[in-house]
Amino acid sequence: MNEYEAKPNIDNSTIGENVNLSSFTCITDSKITSSSSIYRGAKVIKSNMGYKSFVGDGSKLDNGVLDDYARIGRYNHIYFTHLGRHTYTGQDTVIMHTHIGSFTSIAWGVTIGAAEHDFSRLTSHTFLYNPYDELNNETIYYDRFKEKCEIGNDVWIGANSTILRGVSIGDGAVIGANSVVTKDVPPYAIVIGNPAKVVRFRFEKHIIEKLLKLKWWNFEDEFIRKNCDLFSREPDNRVLEEIEKLRYR
């Protein structure tokens, strides 16, 4: 590190072994598990990072949880959000007050669960919940995150998509690029557009039912590693039966 690079700023945090902390990083009131990485200029505040998770350059993880191998791309803002194991985000993504399952793929420029303005009131301005303007007499008039936002497992969210609060995305669903999702998406559905609509399902109904029963995303990493070839195939009856046989023998 040269004289112009600032050392990581660590305050009231637990740092595990073999953690990679780049220059200009700030870690406050957080637990960073072993082999994780926090890259240049990133901030981690009141958060927990699992094994081999990482936070990319210039990103902010605020009151968040990253399970093992979860990773946040560059210049993200992840706020009061839980990312399941092996879930990842692309660059310039914003996620707020959302629970996301495992093995979910989130592209760049995605917005999930952003705070809502209540335009049914006389004004939609932030002074109804933000004290900065010194107008609300320290009263918060409504909760911007009242509606839940949940993303399932093995979901693929395409670039520049927006998912509104109050929406639930089912396991295995695909959100096409540039979509605006205003309603719940069923498991394994493919949706596109503004507002997003179902165009088809990834697999036939009986295969979807078997996948939802199998819940492969809960399998241990070692099992997936040993049987990775099966996961690379189209999930027909034979493949799913083989996975079940190996899993429960």
Checking 20-29 for CB contacts under 8 A at 24+ apart, the result is 20/54, 22/57
Question: Can the peptide bond before residue 187 be classed as cis, meaning omega within 30 degrees of 0?
Answer: no
Q: Catalytic residue positions?
A: 117
Residue 217 CA to residue 171 CA, distance in Å, equals 10
In the DSSP assignment, the letter for residue 210 is H
What is the number of other CB atoms lying within 10 angstroms of the CB of residue 120? 7
Amino acid at 191: V
The CA-based angle 201-187-54, given to 5 degrees, is 115
Angstrom distance (rounded) from CA 95 to CA 17: 28
β-strand pairing of 14-15 with 180-181: unpaired
